[in-house]
């Protein structure tokens, strides 16, 4: 109500308006970790920060849940306006980042901020809000706790994202996605003891696209559920073939996304796929990231208990990069920890990363969990991990992820002792 009026006034007087669009980073975590009272207090604290950091005549509103907006209409002359707004934005985010107390806990939150200016970035309410929102999205994407000014390239990026999403859907419907496998080695024997299925997209229009670019797109829509189901189906089919011919490569690990796990009929659809291909649930391992575990813990425990009772093994992927709640390791029926590649990369020459790996391996041993080191690229990293008696490893040192046929060849070589990778582990 107030913004269109302010715009009309600015139009008559050649004035400017800055719109701030603010969203709390990981607000859900605060509710989940500290409870709803802490969530409410956080929202109140944020409004106080906005009151304090913004000029007195700023109009401040809450748009929904943890989203706030504010507009300011008596701005300095054009030459100075960006500087002035930069200063305001920095102060505001710094105020919000100050820790505060809720009952006995010290709570620390950050927020992200998108800024759009009338008339420079938009000349009506709808575009101004949309553009501030696009800037906010970009601030979030860059990791949060920052402000971003709108720029027309941001809308182009949004259009590009939409285009990519429809390309991905089309590719999926035309069965153009592929699965590759990365073998997992037993570091004490040098044997392949499993393989991780990794989805691949070669678009006929634009070539190879990395999973780290298209999985998040798929996750923004329900497409990730369909792709995920396809991966389970294809992985099961490949495994059934290996079991019939070249001997089993061991357990196949499949990455799950949160959305998939949250499907009501997830368990049924998984068990149907296994039955159709005649494979046992004990032949499959699901990989779940820490952030997936952190959401809605009660419900997640239930689903994972069901899967585990069925015989499926569960692994925590990229361990060490998210909120590693150690209690989660006890609460969830987890069998395996996969140490994130970032620690392995520097393990051989960075004392801190080495210490983390050592600690994770020790802890896993006490908790009777298996440990897999991800992303082994050099012989030095391999030696370091073997010295610590790390159970399993994967990585480019043993070759790039490969198509099913190549893995078949490698399994056969292993059977007749001509496998070259064994010498790495001699
Ligand atoms: P992730 O599950 O942690 O998979 C390991 C990633 O590390 C893979 O990247 C793999 O190619 C890469 N990698 C393995 N060894 C090395 C190494 O020695 N050096 C380096 N630099 N990289 C190595 P990729 O295939 O690009 O997949 C990225 C992520 O995308 C995966 O991380 C996983 O989170 C996700 N993803 C892949 N396939 C699926 C899928 O079918 N479903 C879901 N939900 N996510 C998937
Ligand atoms: Mg994985
Ligand atoms: Mg990983």
pLDDT score for 417: 82
Task: Give the Cα separation of 8 and 165 in Å (integer).
Answer: 38
**What's the gap in Å between 230 CA and the centre of ligand 2?**
16
Q: Would you state the structure tokens that stand for residue 130, as one six-digit string? A: 């949309």
pLDDT score for 174: 94
Substitution candidate for ligand 1 out of 215, 337, 343 with most atoms within 8 A of CB: 215
User: Could you give the percent of the chain with pLDDT greater than 90?
Assistant: 74
Q: Tell whether ligand 1 has an atom less than 6 A from the beta carbon of residue 210.
A: yes
User: Which one, of 271, 257, 269, 179, lies nearest residue 225 by Cα?
Assistant: 257
Least-confidence region, from 25-29, 186-190, 195-199: 25-29
pLDDT in tens, 279-307: 999 999 999 998 888 777 888 899 999 99
Using 50, 70 and 90 to split pLDDT, how confident is the model at 75? confident
Least-confidence region, from 101-110, 278-287, 385-394, 397-406: 101-110
pLDDT score for 351: 93
With a cut of 70, say whether residue 61 has pLDDT above it. Answer: yes
**What's the gap in Å between 318 CA and the centre of ligand 2?**
7
Q: Tell whether ligand 1 has an atom less than 6 A from the beta carbon of residue 255.
A: yes
Average pLDDT for 326-352: 90
With a cut of 90, say whether residue 19 has pLDDT above it. Answer: yes
Average pLDDT for 198-226: 92
Q: Tell whether ligand 1 has an atom less than 6 A from the beta carbon of residue 377.
A: yes
pLDDT in tens, 96-154: 999 988 877 888 899 999 999 999 999 999 999 999 999 999 999 899 999 999 998 88
Using 50, 70 and 90 to split pLDDT, how confident is the model at 78? confident
Average pLDDT for 359-371: 94
pLDDT score for 275: 97
Q: Tell whether ligand 1 has an atom less than 6 A from the beta carbon of residue 75.
A: no
Q: Would you state the structure tokens that stand for residue 257, as one six-digit string? A: 């996304």
Task: Give the Cα separation of 114 and 22 in Å (integer).
Answer: 6
Least-confidence region, from 245-254, 324-333, 377-386, 400-409: 324-333
pLDDT score for 324: 64
pTM of structure:
0.77
Q: Tell whether ligand 1 has an atom less than 6 A from the beta carbon of residue 381.
A: no
pLDDT score for 103: 79
Average pLDDT for 221-225: 91
pLDDT score for 271: 97
Closest listed ligand to the CA of 198: 1
pLDDT score for 155: 83
């Amino acid at each position: 109500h107030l913004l269109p009026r302010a715009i009309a006034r600015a139009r008559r007087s050649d004035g400017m308006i800055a719109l701030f669009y603010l969203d709390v980073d990981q607000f859900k975590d605060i509710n989940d970790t500290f409870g709803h009272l802490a969530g409410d207090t956080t929202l109140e604290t944020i409004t106080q920060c906005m009151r304090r950091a913004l000029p007195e005549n700023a109009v401040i509103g809450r748009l929904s849940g943890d989203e706030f907006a504010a507009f300011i209409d008596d701005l300095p002359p054009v030459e100075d306006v960006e500087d002035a707004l930069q200063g305001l934005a920095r102060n505001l985010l710094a105020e919000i980042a100050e820790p505060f107390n809720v009952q006995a806990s010290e709570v620390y939150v950050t927020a992200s901020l998108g800024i759009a200016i009338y008339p420079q970035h938009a000349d009506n309410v709808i575009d101004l809000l949309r553009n501030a929102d696009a800037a906010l999205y970009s601030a979030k994407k860059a990791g949060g706790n920052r402000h971003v000014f709108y720029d027309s390239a941001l809308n182009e990026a949004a259009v590009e994202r939409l285009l990519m999403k429809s390309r991905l859907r089309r590719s999926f419907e035309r069965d153009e996605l592929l699965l590759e496998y990365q073998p997992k080695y037993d570091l004490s024997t040098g044997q392949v003891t499993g393989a991780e299925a990794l989805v691949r997209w070669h678009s006929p229009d634009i070539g190879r696209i990395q999973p780290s670019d298209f999985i998040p797109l798929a996750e923004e829509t329900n497409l990730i559920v369909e792709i995920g189901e396809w991966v389970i189906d294809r992985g099961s089919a490949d495994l059934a073939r290996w079991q019939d011919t070249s001997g089993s490569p061991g357990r196949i690990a499949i990455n799950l996304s949160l959305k998939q796990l949250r499907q009501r009929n997830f368990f049924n659809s998984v068990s149907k796929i296994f039955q159709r291909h005649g494979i046992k649930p004990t032949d499959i391992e699901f990989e779940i990231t820490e952030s997936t575990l952190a959401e809605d813990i009660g419900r997640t425990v239930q689903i994972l208990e069901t899967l585990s009772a069925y015989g499926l093994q569960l692994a925590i992927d990229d361990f060490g990069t998210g909120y590693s709640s150690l209690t989660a390791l006890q609460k969830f029926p987890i069998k395996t920890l996969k140490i994130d590649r970032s620690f392995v990369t520097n393990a051989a020459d960075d004392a801190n990363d080495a210490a983390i790996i050592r600690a994770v391996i020790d802890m896993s041993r006490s908790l009777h969990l298996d440990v897999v080191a991800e992303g082994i690229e050099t012989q030095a990293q391999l030696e370091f991990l073997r010295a610590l008696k790390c159970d399993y490893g994967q990585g480019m040192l043993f070759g790039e992820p490969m198509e099913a046929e190549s893995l078949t060849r490698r399994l056969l070589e292993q059977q007749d002792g001509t496998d070259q990778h064994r010498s790495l582990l001699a």
